[in-house]
Amino acid sequence: MKDIFDALEKGQNEFLNSLNDATAWTPSERLTALQAQGTELSNLADLMGRGLTKHFEKISADHKGRWQLGLADMGKAVGDLTKAQQDGSLFDAWQSYWKDAVQRSVLTMDVLRQRGDIFLEHEEAGCPPVLIYDYDVVMDGSDLPRPCNYMLLRIKPPKDAGHRDMKLWKRPYIIIDPRAGHGAGIGGFKPDSQVGVALRDGHPVYFVAFRRMPEKGQTLADVTHAEATFVRKVMEEHPEAPKPVVTGNCQGGWATLLLAATNPDLTGPVILNGAPVSTWAGRVGENPMRYNGGVLGGTWNAMFYSDLGHGVFDGADIVQNFEMLNPARNYFGKYYDLYAKVDTEPQRFLEFERWWGGYFLLNEAEMKWIVEQLFVGNKLAKNEAQLEPGRNIDIKQIRAPIIAFASFGDNITPPQQALNWIIDTYTDEREIAIRGQRIIYMVHDQVGHLGIFVSSKIAKKEHTEVTSTLKTIEALAPGLYEMSIDDYEGGLLDREFTVSFHERTLEDLKALDDGRDDEIPFAAVARTSEQQAEFYDVCVRPFVQAGVTEQSADFRRKTHPLRAQRTMMSSLNPMLSGLPEMAEKIKEDRTPAEQDNPFSELERVGAAMFEQSLDLFRDLRDTWYENLFYSIWGSPYMRWFGRTHQPGRTLKRKEDLRSLPPVQAALMHIEEGGFCEAVIRMLILLADSRGNVRRDRLERSARVLTQDEPFKSLTPDARSFILQEQSLIVEFARDKAVTTLPKLLKTRQDRELASKVVRYVPGAIEEMTPHTLEMMQRFQDVLDLPPVSDNVTEDPLVKGKGVASDLPAFDAPKPKEEPVSAPSAPQKAAVAKPAARKSAAKPATRKSSARKAPARKPAANTGKSQEPAE
């Protein structure tokens, strides 16, 4: 799409000069400008047309089928009524249904009363985390030099047969829950949640929670500093364990990115679950939540509501927005499900409502930063976000592997918002590799936003596999990968997965979107939001703040509709005083109606049709919402108005990256190293010559790099360093990378063994591509070995199958494999081609044929030597 107003950038063309010099406008130039604006309007009409078409196709397909099914069910129910009337059982059916309906009504009212009581008790207790596990408070953020309301909790594993004993030397997990109106604990809300998965495998688990009320003057910079302190504390508690995994849920995801970008030396792998990072992204005809800033107002809204709260933003307002996304479910569906299944549903309903009804507060500075920098400004993806003045947050600074989990079923954080930051941050996938980064993403088709980190069978499968393959992920070459879980078998504690990692390009990520022209109008929203915020701050805020007191702010919070409905349906309401006793009597005399009762069928059909009508309202509202947004912000003038805030950042070309210090350091050591460096370099060269890698080759590569000596004895940092260094050498000095191989493999024994390893990974000669075979023959020539003539079908680094017994002895421990978590366990992980990765520290010696892993001193009676650290 060609935007005439993009020409305002100097040096693009003569349009800017034409604006500055009115006499320069010729009739042809004016006609060109008008034609360009006409093109803009045409493109806008096309975009809105696509959106309308998609909306109406979805409405037609969805509601037509539901309506036909509802009519069929209604016809069946009426037929059953007629049949009951004919056989004389209609009155009995009515009596049975009426008694059942009255009993269910009373029991439902009593459950809502219990919900109100739980809400009041939860508020009175300060809204503690809703974790189902016991925990100890390890650190309190209020005691830090920069105080905040965050806490570090150590989760206590349950004492049952389903959990392994916790090993202090195993990799710890730190889970950061979202602070988006609700309280903490959703990541450990069920046994099958993230906490439960890690605990069952014997890992130490820590949870970053927060109190209801923020500390006075608290900012997000204070929160990030506190989280970094928490990670350091966990590392102190587990000095012999690998760096901790940090998992961020939803808004805890971008908080985790802030932590990892400002403290690249602290974290191990970073896992982002449904994290909105590129907040303008989405598909036309879907994801209406992203239009809120343009339709409801930008940053000034957050400032205004914070002023009404006497400097504190009420999280209940955020939760109310979430509920409006799906009014049918939140205002009718979940209550009808409770009413229809009141004999079995109350416990689940109350557990969830305890978390959903815990409303937390944020300081005005925190809420303004979130809205201004992320959801309206989209600055994190553009490298413009600043926690503190003059310090931009650059995602490129993260060195740990990043694993992003997204889902098309997520109506709050669609995959585009969870993944498009990769496109905005890196020139291409080669830059990801050159910078030593590993980014792995997974996209599910169905699981919803809460299902990503709550008890969902779909999500549980993904989280279990990420937990059990992290060491394999760290052994991946730098680059962009998609992870897929193809199959699994076995019981929970000894489950085997079939996992594959597929190399991807930025074009593959772009294919998840329907184009990015729809993001340009958000730039005008961002600029307008800044101007509105300035106007409000100077001209309106003084009058608002003058009329607000602490008492009025507290009164507003207490009378918020979400709190009021729970308080009114609690034991504080004298009209409900007799409800518990009545409910107990009904439970003793409970007589449910038969499933085939025609009146029960009519009730179910009527409820389904009413819920569908609310869904139809939602779909029509979203259609209007989207078209209103683009009508206001998608015009040629608005595109010109937002030109200074349009998406994008300066991206480096490959030639510019050559000057990076890691690249220069790698090229300086091109002739240094030993057996490990040589094999990894050769595998990288082979992978580059193939262009794509079959699954069986990926599996063999994974085995060599993670399970065979001498690679198995490498520390994660050492393996990372070799992978990145050799990848940079191949990327920037390909020919010299081949000719200097004899410098790394000095003896004929090492050369023959390296040749067999490299021939084992690609497989049979007849299956090799001509480029692969040509590169293999070149290796043989350079190393003064005979031409390739036979296949290597057995792993030469496994004793008894090759000449691995000729390798020097290693002092590193050789622990026995554990079924679930060890990378050498029965899981069948297919790992993509090796290509380099940067480590935090350079190994002490480069010329040894293998690096020694630091010997781990076993603790008494812990069985540490019996299990690997993963």
State the pLDDT at residue 496: 54
State the pLDDT at residue 726: 87
**Residue with token string 């008790």:** 121
Burial 22-47 (b: 16+ CB within 10 A, else e): eeeeeeeeeeebeebbeebeebbeeb
> Do 157 and 228 form a contact (C-beta atoms < 8 A)?
no
Residue 225: pLDDT band by 50, 70, 90 thresholds?
Answer: very high
Residue 444: pLDDT band by 50, 70, 90 thresholds?
Answer: confident
Q: What is the helix, strand, coil percentage profile of the chain, to 5?
A: 55, 10, 35
* Mean pLDDT along residues 407-425: 87
State the pLDDT at residue 202: 79
State the pLDDT at residue 469: 67
Residue 188: pLDDT band by 50, 70, 90 thresholds?
Answer: low
* Mean pLDDT along residues 637-658: 78
> Do 747 and 864 form a contact (C-beta atoms < 8 A)?
no
Residue 859 has pLDDT above 70, yes or no: no
The mean pLDDT value of the chain amounts to 81
User: Closest by alpha carbon to 352, among 340, 334, 365?
Assistant: 334
Higher-confidence residue of 787 and 7: namely 787
Longest dimension (CA), the chain: 98
User: Closest by alpha carbon to 525, among 279, 277, 297, 278?
Assistant: 297
Edge-to-edge strands of the sheet including 402-407?
Answer: 135-140, 150-155, 205-210, 173-176, 245-249, 270-273, 402-407, 438-444, 479-489, 496-503, 828-830
State the pLDDT at residue 43: 84
Residue 601 has pLDDT above 60, yes or no: yes
Residue 857 has pLDDT above 50, yes or no: no
Beta strands of 250-367 (E only): which ranges? 270-273, 312-314, 361-363
State the pLDDT at residue 356: 87
Kindly give, in sequence order, each residue whose CB lies less than 8 Å from that of residue 478, ignoring residues fewer than 6 positions away: 432, 433, 434, 435, 436, 437, 438, 723, 724, 727, 835, 836, 837, 838
Tell me, what DSSP letter sits at residue 536? I
* Mean pLDDT along residues 17-21: 50
State the pLDDT at residue 498: 64
State the pLDDT at residue 448: 61
**Residue with token string 């507290």:** 554
State the pLDDT at residue 449: 60
CA 332 to chain centre: 29
State the pLDDT at residue 262: 92
User: 3-class DSSP state for residue 264?
Assistant: coil
State the pLDDT at residue 764: 77
User: 3-class DSSP state for residue 176?
Assistant: strand
Kindly give, in sequence order, each residue whose CB lies less than 8 Å from that of residue 731, ignoring residues fewer than 6 positions away: 430, 433, 434, 836
State the pLDDT at residue 298: 87
Residue 79 has pLDDT above 70, yes or no: yes
Higher-confidence residue of 646 and 590: namely 590
State the pLDDT at residue 660: 78
CA 334 to chain centre: 26
User: Closest by alpha carbon to 235, among 323, 291, 309, 152?
Assistant: 152
Residue 816 has pLDDT above 60, yes or no: no
State the pLDDT at residue 812: 38
Q: Among 184-188, 307-311, 792-796, name the one with the lowest average pLDDT.
A: 184-188
Rounded CA-CA distance 249/180 in Å is 11
* Mean pLDDT along residues 359-375: 93
State the pLDDT at residue 710: 87
Pick left, alpha or beta for residue 840 (phi over 0 → left; psi -120 to 50 → alpha; otherwise beta): alpha
List, for residues 504-547, the tens digit of each pLDDT value: 889 999 999 888 888 999 999 999 999 999 999 999 999 999 99
List, for residues 102-131, the tens digit of each pLDDT value: 999 999 999 999 999 999 999 998 888 888
* Mean pLDDT along residues 794-808: 58
Long-range Cβ contacts of 706-709 (<8 Å, 24+ apart): 706/471, 706/472, 706/475, 706/823, 706/824, 706/831, 707/823, 707/824, 708/795, 708/797, 708/798, 708/804, 709/797, 709/804, 709/807, 709/810, 709/814, 709/850
Higher-confidence residue of 864 and 593: namely 593
* Mean pLDDT along residues 724-730: 87
List, for residues 37-74, the tens digit of each pLDDT value: 778 888 888 889 999 999 999 999 999 989 999 999 99
HSE value, Cβ hemisphere, 13 Å, CA-based, for 428: 6
Rounded CA-CA distance 380/277 in Å is 7
State the pLDDT at residue 147: 95
Tell me, what DSSP letter sits at residue 380? T
Residue 20 has pLDDT above 70, yes or no: no
* Mean pLDDT along residues 592-610: 91
Q: Among 294-298, 324-328, 455-459, 657-661, name the one with the lowest average pLDDT.
A: 455-459
Rounded CA-CA distance 198/642 in Å is 46
List, for residues 272-297, the tens digit of each pLDDT value: 988 889 999 989 988 888 898 888 88
Which is it for strands 150-155 and 135-140: parallel, antiparallel or unpaired? antiparallel
* Mean pLDDT along residues 584-599: 90
* Mean pLDDT along residues 385-400: 88
Rounded CA-CA distance 260/275 in Å is 14
Percent of the chain with pLDDT over 70: 80
User: 3-class DSSP state for residue 813?
Assistant: coil
List, for residues 738-760, the tens digit of each pLDDT value: 999 999 998 999 998 998 888 88
State the pLDDT at residue 800: 47
Residue 810: pLDDT band by 50, 70, 90 thresholds?
Answer: very low
Higher-confidence residue of 759 and 187: namely 759
State the pLDDT at residue 691: 46
Q: Among 452-456, 485-489, 584-588, name the one with the lowest average pLDDT.
A: 452-456
Q: Among 293-307, 641-655, 698-712, 833-847, name the one with the lowest average pLDDT.
A: 833-847
